Amino acid sequence: MTAQPNNDFVQEVVARGGDSVTMCFQCGTCTASCPSGRQTSFRTRKLVRMAQLGLKDEVLNSQELWYCTTCYTCTERCPRNVAIVDIIIAMRNMAVAEGKMFDGHRKTAQSFVKNGHTVPISAEVKAQRKAMGLPEVPPTVLANEKAMADFDKILKATGFKKTIGE
């Protein structure tokens, strides 16, 4: 299959905060530094090159896009000051906007919407908190309906529920 370069792709990555993508000269320091690349098929240098070449569909459909833990080792060591994590975040945002999202990630996003937190509270944790002299429910959005409603309004304004397919 012949890849179909998308010339607008780099510009969108730039617009979404990955403006240093064009600075990469492919030295591979990122790949050599990447702890995920040791365990998986993720190759940071290759992903940045694919972005430069406008291989939009290949990038947004690749599982490797989601193998970065955002540890920033690549960004720290890049001799061209390429903000590699920002580029990855920009491309992940584009994938999610196209409805490309893994179930485990959607679950985290759904908890964020429902609870205002990435994980729910449990009866077990409530009991532990009480035994330590802490309020059973922490004094966050979880403890105040008005605050939770405000949080929900923020998500409505940004369209987050729609973005994650809720």
Partner 1 sequence: MAKYAFFLGCIAPLRYPGIEKSTRVVAEAMGIELVDLTDASCCPAPGVIRAFDKKTWLAAAARNLALAEKAGLDILTICNGCYGSLFDAAHELHADKNLLKEVNEILKEVGLKYSGKTNVRHFAEVLYNDVGVENIKAKITNPVGYRVATFYGCHFLKPSDIKQLDDPENPKMLDDLVEATGAVSLYRKDKMMCCGAGGGLRSQFGDSAMKFTEENLKNMVDAGSEMIVDICPFCHLQFDRAQADLKGYALPVLHLSQLYGIALGMDRKELGLDAHVTPVKL
Binding interface with partner 1 (CB under 8 A) = 16-17, 35-36, 38-40, 66-73, 75-76, 83, 85, 88-90, 92-93, 96-97, 101-105, 107-109, 112, 116-122, 125, 128-129, 131-134, 138-141, 143-144, 146-147, 150-151, 153-155, 157-158, 160, 163-164
The distance of closest approach from Cβ of residue 163 to partner 1 in the complex, given in angstroms and rounded to an integer, is 5
Q: Which residue has the tokens 């179909």?
A: 4
Of the pair 31, 93, the CB lying nearest partner 1 is at 93
Shortest distance (Å) from residue 63 CB to partner 1: 8
| Cβ 130 to partner 1 shortest distance, Å | 9
50 vs 91, beta carbon nearer partner 1: 91
The Cα 139–Cα 146 span in angstroms is 13
Measure Cα distances from 151 to 82, 123, 157, 158 in Å. 34, 24, 10, 11
Please, which residue, 4 or 40, has the CB nearer to partner 1? Answer: 40
Task: Quote the least distance from Cβ 1 to partner 1, whole Å.
Answer: 26
Using CA atoms, how far residue 67 sits from 64, 89, 100, 138, in Å, is 5, 12, 15, 32
Residue identified by tokens 């972005």 is 51
Question: Minimum distance between the CB of residue 5 and partner 1, rounded to whole angstroms?
Answer: 25
What is the signed CA dihedral for 161, 119, 99, 9, rounded to 10 degrees? Answer: 100
The residue among 49 and 100 lying less far from partner 1, judged by its C-beta, is 100
Smaller CB separation from partner 1, 79 or 146: 146
Alpha-carbon distance values, 159 to 136, 138, 164 (Å): 32, 27, 9
Token pair of 163 as six digits:
């973005």
The CB density around residue 54, as the number of other CB atoms within 10 Å, is: 20
